[in-house]
Amino acid sequence: MAKLNDNYLKLPGSYLFSTVARKVREYQEANPDKKVIKLSIGDVTQPLAPAIIESLHKAVDEMGKAETFRGYAPDLGYEFLRNTIAEKDYKAKGCNVSPDEIFVSDGAKSDSANIQEIFSIDNKIAVGDPVYPVYVDSNVMAGRTGTYDKVKETWSDVIYMPCVAENNFVPEIPKEVPDLIYLCFPNNPTGATIKKAQLQEWVDYANKVGAVIIYDAAYEAYISEADVPHSIYECEGARTCAIELRSFSKNAGFTGVRLGFTVVPKELKVDGVALHGLWARRHGTKYNGAPYIVQRAGEAVYSEAGQAQLKAQVAYYMNNAKYIYNGLKEAGYSVSGGVNAPYVWLRTPGNMTSWEFFDYLLEKANVVGTPGSGFGPSGEHYFRVNAFGSYENTVEAINRIKAL
């Protein structure tokens, strides 16, 4: 008689963005004449850059001819892409990462959900609070998080590290020693960043206690300030304690194209065993590589034309972020983020809960954002607004909020 993985049944009912979508749909159905502007789910809106489109067409043509057709990709990804990543994302920035430490994948969401698999169920995880829900949910599914407290909205076996105004939304090293530490900078959802010296403290701590840091750098392309690290490998000692996740979704608009990669340094060992070999085995057994045409598109991201076009694309979104940040500030809101990240994080006014403010904005300004409480208990009374809309919609949305 087959038996369920009943860890799945412990997951609280509905996913944050499903609830947001349902509320918007219901409002729109009841008010068909209203123009609702969504600055909620972190999906990009600008088309793929011309250099990427060109490389996709070229790769498609190759797939149509026997001489240039490509079947199964190499397990870790094509060398042309891994070499480029190692060169441009790491070597050029003074980080020591070799091409065979780079595992090309279909995106950082999959990788951030799958990476926990190579660790024992007995590891205790630490996460920022608020946090990208995938880190926690994937550990719940694996049975690593204990029991759920419906009132507190926390798991008994998870170490929560509050990220609040008092610590500039940067977690402090927790009292209880964790085994796996999830860090995400620039942060989703708060838009906060970590300085290099602060990140170095985490690296030193992880090496000291034998913890592994899972560092999500999906938003590194949005960093504008000098002392904010783009990679955890800028810190000394990170090669013995850290795995880094990267994405093409936000730096190149690949949310619908699907490409990312994970770096597992060969020196990173647990119980004396190199994690590189375990992740390679998982990759080879449970995955079959990103599409050839998509890997070629990834390569084009690093071309001269691609770099120029994407710099403009990032600037477009960051111009939105600036408009949101300044506009909300002018309107009297307490805001953070938006400088090195495409997210602005605001404190709800008058002690409204995150969902009360969601309903208020939807009904009064027809603007949709994301309730901070959906990312964890310390997100309560906060609210995320993203910069991925069109400039026109962003301006209109903020002006409506200012007019309230």
According to the binding rule CB under 8 A, does residue 134 interact with a copy of itself? yes
Among 43, 201, 380, 396, binds a copy of itself (CB under 8 A): 43
17 and 40 Cβ atoms separated by less than 8 Å: yes
Supply the angle between the helices 354-365 and 16-30 in degrees, to the nearest 10.
Answer: 30
Among 57, 152, 266, 311, binds a copy of itself (CB under 8 A): 57
Among 29, 122, 166, 392, binds a copy of itself (CB under 8 A): 122
Beta bridge partners of residue 270, listed in sequence order: 273
Q: Which of residues 313-352 bind a copy of itself (CB under 8 A)?
A: none
Phi, psi (5° rounding) for residue 108?
-70, -25
According to the binding rule CB under 8 A, does residue 151 interact with a copy of itself? no
DSSP β-ladder status, 269-270 and 273-274: antiparallel
Stretch binding a copy of itself (CB under 8 A), from 32-40, 154-162, 268-276, 317-325: 268-276
Q: Which of residues 375-394 bind a copy of itself (CB under 8 A)?
A: 390
Nearer to a copy of itself, 32 or 64 (CB): 64
Q: Which two tokens stand for residue 129?
A: 């609070």
**What span, in angstroms and rounded, lies between the C-alpha atoms of 277 and 274?**
6
Nearer to a copy of itself, 190 or 255 (CB): 255
Q: What mask, x for binding a copy of itself by CB under 8 A, covers residues 206 to 245?
A: ---xxxx---------------------------------
Task: Round the CA-based radius of gyration of the chain to a whole number and report it.
Answer: 21
According to the binding rule CB under 8 A, does residue 174 interact with a copy of itself? no
Nearer to a copy of itself, 50 or 363 (CB): 50
| In the complex, minimum distance from the CB of residue 366 to a copy of itself, in angstroms, rounded to a whole number | 21
Among 69, 96, 172, 330, binds a copy of itself (CB under 8 A): 69
SS3 of residue 206 by DSSP:
helix
According to the binding rule CB under 8 A, does residue 204 interact with a copy of itself? no
Q: Whose CA is closest to 354, among 344, 369, 365, 342?
A: 369
Supply the angle between the helices 292-301 and 50-63 in degrees, to the nearest 10.
Answer: 150
Q: In angstroms, what CA-CA distances link 155 with 137, 244, 263?
A: 10, 25, 29
Nearer to a copy of itself, 90 or 202 (CB): 202
Nearer to a copy of itself, 36 or 73 (CB): 73
Instruction: Give yes or no for a cis peptide into 130 (omega within 30° of 0).
Output: yes
Among 150, 285, 350, 351, binds a copy of itself (CB under 8 A): 285
Amino acid at 46: Q
Stretch binding a copy of itself (CB under 8 A), from 163-171, 215-223, 265-273, 340-348: 265-273
Amino acid at 299: E
Q: Whose CA is closest to 220, among 197, 201, 247, 202?
A: 247
